[in-house]
Structure 1
Amino acid sequence: MKPIRIGTVELSNGEKLGYRMREGGERALVLIHGNMTSSAHWDLVLERIDERFKVYAVDLRGFGLSTYRRPVESLRDFAADVKEWIDALGLNRYSVMGWSMGGGVAMHLAADRPEQVEKLILLASVSTRGYPFYETDDKGQPTGRRLRTKEEIAADPGKTLPILRALKRRDKEFLRKLWETLIYTHRRPDPDRYEAYLEDMLTQRNLAEVYHALNTFNISDRHNGLVGGTGEAKRIVAPTLVLWGDRDRVVPERMALEIVEDIGPGARPVGLTDCGHSPLVDDPDQLLDRVTQFLDE
């Protein structure tokens, strides 16, 4: 296995992005993580993907090794950071894989830089129409009201506040139970990796802002019930693979089909068998088979 190196890049906005890089051939693949994770959660991909690929996994602002000096307001803020990071690395042609929230960041990148993004892979991704945030009561039960502002989301008693409190008190057992309820419902990482993932989750400094960014994200050509769409999805010309797990409790198949509808003929949906929201853990071999087949087409 080729070694994995860790680096940082200083951005013009004063932020610093950390990243992991695994050497390989001339074909570059950029990995963008989701909420409550960082580049550390791409470890199995970095270790196992074919060595024909040179792989870069970034830590978004407020996660992992990256700084968080300016609050983010949208997924576009993350995308702007990633574009400058890519420029600093000197990448001119590359494919991108975005997982969950990172899929929205990857879509911004593909829409803004069609001359650079060769192929786009969206893994259990947020829809082109966003990921709605509904109010919950203090028992975690939904009330049916969609929240509209970052302040409302930050004060939500059943979802946001318990996680914020767990992060503040470094309560890894709370995070373990949360992930085993929603994400690691079928398979779990081996103990050493699991401990590293939980430790990494504690680095997040922007939970409410991310929820707000997902709630207001909409690059479709229609209104999503909260905001109108920008139509940017139609600017994605890179061949796109939309992957979702048939056991996913976080992102339903409906969102994958919305992505395909909004991007158009260049997007192809593929289900992953016996996988939840983290095919990275549930079945990395199946995931990497699908990914490498697509990249080789």
Structure 2
Amino acid sequence: MPPPPPPAAAGRRGRCVLSFAVARDRCFSRRFLRAGLRPLAVPLPAAPATDPAPAPATTVHMWVPSRPPRNPLLLLHGFGASATWQWAPYLRPLIAAGFDPIVPDLVFFGASCTRLPDRSDAFQASAIKTAMDAIGVIRFGLVGVSYGGFVGYRMAAMFPEAVERVAMICAGVCLEEKDLAEGLFPVTGVGEAAALLVPRRPEEVRRLVRLTFVRPPLIMPSCFLWDYIKPTLIIWGEQDQVFPMELAHRLNRHLEGNSRLVVIKNAGHAVNLEKPKDVCRNIIEFFKEPIAEAANGDDKVWKLLHL
């Protein structure tokens, strides 16, 4: 008789055959469906308009409302597997507050992809804006987390007629090269920053989690970690070790009275996951306020949450 097959759990390099990440993806997808959103792949052709059948160069995957949105709110995720992981806890509170969430995977994440060579935040901004136009959403509010905040900041600059107001969560858009040399950022160069934010090995994931969470998970099995491979509201985790608080203050100063800074106590860079209820509450309050109040940069609007 032939020898029995190896156990199902004995994957290559110690990886789990039963993927924890895939199971989580399915769970989050069900939550999106129950919240009334549906998945949509939006092809963005790059060929000239004279081409009768241009091939899609870029595809943006989005979760969109089942009916035309009345109060659209674009949610841009940070580095991670896909948008569903970061925004699932926010769907029902935002919908209950009267918002219509639109949740895309940024290009190179989740199911969004391109065959174009551009990797800039301007390209991301243009791709997401084109996808929004394709689904008929012309004006919208925007929330961006970390890297999604970089893209959202660029979108607001490129398409001011479309982006009504912006909320940025731990997005170090004011980071300068000298900050790396002076030790403000926990890496010494762009290459190390890329390795930090896009981990390829379990130990790199552990390092990123230690930096992004104040209370990181105690147990992180390697077999799971392989799977993880205008008016402006600024929300920041007080103990952010990826983009320190100095960058929040710098951005607030840079916006010269058109922003509000909210500092969340006992939270790090992953404040959107560590304190989702508090972050969501501030997002709802900000987007429900009249423009004049939301744009007030006076010290009276400073909020320090003792949580």
Alpha-carbon distance in 1 for matches of 2:91, 2:75 = 10
Amino acid corresponding to residue 92 of structure 1 in structure 2:
I
Of the three residues 90, 108, 123, the one matched with 1:77 is 123
With over 3 angstroms needed to count, the CA separation of the structure-2 counterparts of 1:47 and 1:280, relative to structure 1, is farther
With over 3 angstroms needed to count, the CA separation of the structure-2 counterparts of 1:163 and 1:280, relative to structure 1, is closer
Deviations 1:140-174 (A, max 9, x none): x96x5x55xxxxx3xx5xx656887x63xxx4x33
Deviations 1:36-81 (A, max 9, x none): 3431222212244233111011111111101132233421111111
Partner of 2:89: 44
Alpha-carbon distance in 2 for matches of 1:131, 1:36 = 24
Of the three residues 88, 100, 108, the one matched with 1:54 is 100
Deviations 1:104-134 (A, max 9, x none): 1111111122222121000001223457785
- SS of 2:167's equivalent? strand
Equivalent pair of 1:30/1:95 in contact (CA under 8 Å):
yes
Unaligned runs of 5+ in 1: 136-140, 148-152, 203-237
Number of residue pairs aligned between Structure 1 and Structure 2: 236
Partner of 1:282: 274
Alpha-carbon distance in 2 for matches of 1:23, 1:133 = 44
Give yes or no for the alignment of 1:20 onto 2:66: no
Of the three residues 186, 197, 213, the one matched with 1:184 is 213
Using CA pairs under 8 Å that are at least 6 residues apart, name the structure with larger relative contact order, 1 or 2.
1
- SS of 1:261's equivalent? helix
Task: Compute the RMSD of aligned alpha carbons.
Answer: 3.0
Give yes or no for the alignment of 1:29 onto 2:73: yes
Alignment of 1:155-170 (within 5 A): 160=194, 167=200
Q: Per-residue deviation at 1:23? A: 5.3
State which drifts further: 21-30 or 46-55. 21-30
- SS of 2:45's equivalent? coil
Partner of 1:101: 147
TM-score by length of 2: 0.67
Alpha-carbon distance in 2 for matches of 1:108, 1:180 = 27
With over 3 angstroms needed to count, the CA separation of the structure-2 counterparts of 1:281 and 1:73, relative to structure 1, is closer
With over 3 angstroms needed to count, the CA separation of the structure-2 counterparts of 1:58 and 1:180, relative to structure 1, is same
Alpha-carbon distance in 2 for matches of 1:189, 1:75 = 34
Equivalent pair of 2:267/2:274 in contact (CA under 8 Å):
yes
Equivalent pair of 2:239/2:245 in contact (CA under 8 Å):
no
Of the three residues 151, 154, 171, the one matched with 1:125 is 171
Alpha-carbon distance in 2 for matches of 1:294, 1:160 = 32
Equivalent pair of 2:196/2:204 in contact (CA under 8 Å):
no
With over 3 angstroms needed to count, the CA separation of the structure-2 counterparts of 1:132 and 1:278, relative to structure 1, is farther
With over 3 angstroms needed to count, the CA separation of the structure-2 counterparts of 1:42 and 1:190, relative to structure 1, is farther
With over 3 angstroms needed to count, the CA separation of the structure-2 counterparts of 1:33 and 1:162, relative to structure 1, is closer
With over 3 angstroms needed to count, the CA separation of the structure-2 counterparts of 1:266 and 1:61, relative to structure 1, is same
Amino acid corresponding to residue 214 of structure 2 in structure 1:
T
Equivalent pair of 2:144/2:168 in contact (CA under 8 Å):
yes
Alpha-carbon distance in 2 for matches of 1:184, 1:124 = 12
Alpha-carbon distance in 2 for matches of 1:21, 1:190 = 35
Name which one, 1 or 2, has greater alpha-carbon Rg.
2
Unaligned runs of 5+ in 2: 1-33, 47-56, 290-307
Partner of 1:2: 35
Alignment of 1:222-241 (within 5 A): 238-241=230-233
Alpha-carbon distance in 1 for matches of 2:80, 2:177 = 15
Alpha-carbon distance in 1 for matches of 2:141, 2:167 = 8
Alpha-carbon distance in 2 for matches of 1:293, 1:190 = 36
With over 3 angstroms needed to count, the CA separation of the structure-2 counterparts of 1:240 and 1:162, relative to structure 1, is closer
Percent identical among aligned pairs is: 22
With over 3 angstroms needed to count, the CA separation of the structure-2 counterparts of 1:260 and 1:174, relative to structure 1, is same
Amino acid corresponding to residue 9 of structure 1 in structure 2:
V
